[in-house]
Structure 1
Amino acid sequence: MRAIVQTKYGSADELELREIETPSPAANQVLVRVQAVAINDYDWCMVSGKPLVYRLMFGLFKPKTPIPGMEIAGEVVECGVNVKNFKVGDTVFGDLSECGFGGFAEYVSADENALFLKPSQMKYEDAAAISHAACLALQGLVDVGNLACGEKVLINGAGGGVGAYGLNIAKFYDAHVTAVDAAHKLAMLKQNGFDEALDYQSIDFTRQPAQYDLILDTKTNRGVFRYLKVLAPNGRYVTVGGSVMRLIQLLLLKPWVALFTNKRVSIVALKTNKDLATICEWYLAKKLVPVVELRESLSAVPQAISYFGAGKHKGKLVVRLK
């Protein structure tokens, strides 16, 4: 099979498209013929080796996993002897980040618990775009953020996948939703239904008079007290990722914020693939709509990762294999 192989940290241009042996599924795994794969922050961090703290997870001096790629959709072509939930011919999708990555390939062996049955009406590129970002948005806004009807919500870094799904979910609650992202994404964000869209390069929302009941942050690029200033009374700040140092600061200050203010700060500990049944229902009802930038063929992965790392993508960036 063909796969995108990584032998060292560095530029995505150094990734190699190689012919390698097709894996065999272990007892609790299925072999999936990959039809589509999404590009994610983890992929960018795994390829670049930055921030350096991530090397504790991916490998100190070189990546432990030779094939990146975590969010896939495809067809089951072989089942391990202990597999109970799938059969050959099933179409599946899911987030492989907790069971070894390997999605930038024509085939991947994946633990059956990392996969979910794909509805026949769901396009492969949409399925690849859903499992990680939609779960982050739902768990961030609802499970952790306790979103209530009619609240004012701000999504920082709204031009990616989490922002698109976050908008859909927030509108279930009749929320007023403000987006923050780069100028070249603002027209898309307004067109998709955000009530307001702010260019982060010209407007620092933490220095504006507006206040929000709930902030969902994908960047975490400011200090905790800056966010607290723009939270309304009883407001909640929830982050799903971003600067490692800012996340550590937030973790250390979280109990003090709860003790001395009526506001709350939280970090989402993602429960992988937990909400996919609900998310599929919303997708089929056209209540949750993926925003996808599509690339064609496995050979497009290195350029797609570079494009993602530069922050140019709008919504989810997905590679459809031919």
Structure 2
Amino acid sequence: MKAIAQDVYGSADVLRLREVDRPSIGEDQVLVQVRAAGVDPGVWVCMTGRPYGARVVFGLTRPRVAVRGRALAGVVVSTGSGVNGFKPGDEVYGTSVGGTFAEYAAASGRRLALKPSNLSFEQAAAVPISGVTALECVRDGGRVRPGQKVMVVGAAGGVGSFAVQIAKASGARVTGVCGADKVELVRSLGADEVIDYTREEVDRDGACHDVVIDLAGCRPLRLLRRALAPRGTLVVAGGGHDAGGLLGGYTRQLRAPFVSMFTGRHLRGLISKERAEELDELTRLIESGAVTPVIDRTYALADAPDAIRYLAEGHPAGKVVVTVG
């Protein structure tokens, strides 16, 4: 099969479209014919091996998994003997640890769900990582309740565009923080107020937000705390993957609970889980019309290196997706 793969860490220049073996599946896995794959910051981390602490997981000197990509949407080809709930021909979405920038991918049945009926494959591929992260930020990290004031920093990005919509569906009053060129997009997602960070900072309105969800990864915790109401909750999920140091921007996620011990506010770092249960909940929100993926650009499989370059260059408005076949 054709796939985007690499043998060494580096920039997008190390990626090649080449022929690799079609993956075999175990008894708890599903073989999926990939129709589209999401492009996430984690793809950049696996490609570059940065921050360097990530190499403990992905391979010390070279990537353990050659094929890039994590999120997918496609059609079931076959299932292992231990898989229930899927059959050949089912349209599914989810994640794979074996790479998804490829014509086929093997995925655990516990990381897949039936694709929302009202989404294209391209739209569905945008959901499994960014949508799940946003859901867990709002539901688990922020524990958002109706009537609360919620700020989403990085509201126009891949995760932020989902977080704004999920917070609104939870009954919150939402303030989105984004650049000047994305203000109208964030309003269209349902944000009640928008802060253009090129003109004003997140503490513009003082300490009034019950929950602040930071997905941008570049502001110090002390600044974010100034936007929180007393006893408010800060959820830090933006890693700042291209920051320096052993752990890059993920250091903030580790520091947040420690800092919380010395303030009256709750600071939580969130690392997303990839589970079918979250996908099922997102499917309900999507099919109800409460949440719609925002796609900035799509790229053909052969152009996947350009998709990663575009993601790394700046701030896409929503998601970047690679189409396959």
TM-score (norm 1): 0.91
Distance 1:300 1:137 in 2: 27
Amino acid at match of 2:27: A
* Pairwise CA distance, 1:93: 0.8
| 1:309–1:296 CA distance, 2 compared to 1 (3 A) | closer
Amino acid at match of 1:140: C
Distance 2:19 2:286 in 1: 36
* Pairwise CA distance, 1:48: 2.0
Name the structure 2 match of 1:53.
53
Amino acid at match of 1:227: L
* Pairwise CA distance, 1:246: 5.2
Name the structure 2 match of 1:146.
143
Name the structure 2 match of 1:25.
25
Name the structure 2 match of 1:172.
169
Name the structure 2 match of 1:122.
119
* Pairwise CA distance, 1:245: 5.3
Counting matched residue pairs gives: 318
Which of 280, 300, 304 matches 1:297? 300
* Pairwise CA distance, 1:69: 0.5
* Pairwise CA distance, 1:270: 2.0
8 Å contact from structure 2 (residues 51, 248) kept in 1 = no
Distance 1:236 1:253 in 2: 11
Q: Deviations over 1:146-184 (max 9, x none)?
A: 212222211111111221111112112442222223333
Pair 1:257 & 2:254 matched: no
* Pairwise CA distance, 1:255: 4.4
CA RMSD of aligned residues (A): 2.1
8 Å contact from structure 2 (residues 154, 216) kept in 1 = yes
8 Å contact from structure 2 (residues 232, 266) kept in 1 = yes
Q: Deviations over 1:263-286 (max 9, x none)?
A: 100012323233222211111111
Q: Deviations over 1:107-156 (max 9, x none)?
A: 11122222112244332112111122222112111222121222221111
| 1:284–1:58 CA distance, 2 compared to 1 (3 A) | same
Amino acid at match of 2:147: G
* Pairwise CA distance, 1:58: 1.4
| 1:256–1:19 CA distance, 2 compared to 1 (3 A) | closer
1:68-87 maps to which residues of 2 (within 5 A)?
A: 68-87=68-87
Amino acid at match of 2:42: Y
* Pairwise CA distance, 1:78: 1.9
1:1-322 maps to which residues of 2 (within 5 A)?
A: 1-96=1-96, 100-206=97-203, 209=206, 211-243=208-240, 244=247, 247-249=250-252, 251-252=254-255, 254-255=257-258, 257-258=260-261, 260-273=262-275, 274-322=277-325
8 Å contact from structure 2 (residues 92, 112) kept in 1 = yes
* Pairwise CA distance, 1:193: 2.6
| 1:207–1:167 CA distance, 2 compared to 1 (3 A) | closer
* Pairwise CA distance, 1:26: 2.1
Which ranges in structure 1 are unaligned for 5 or more consecutive residues? none
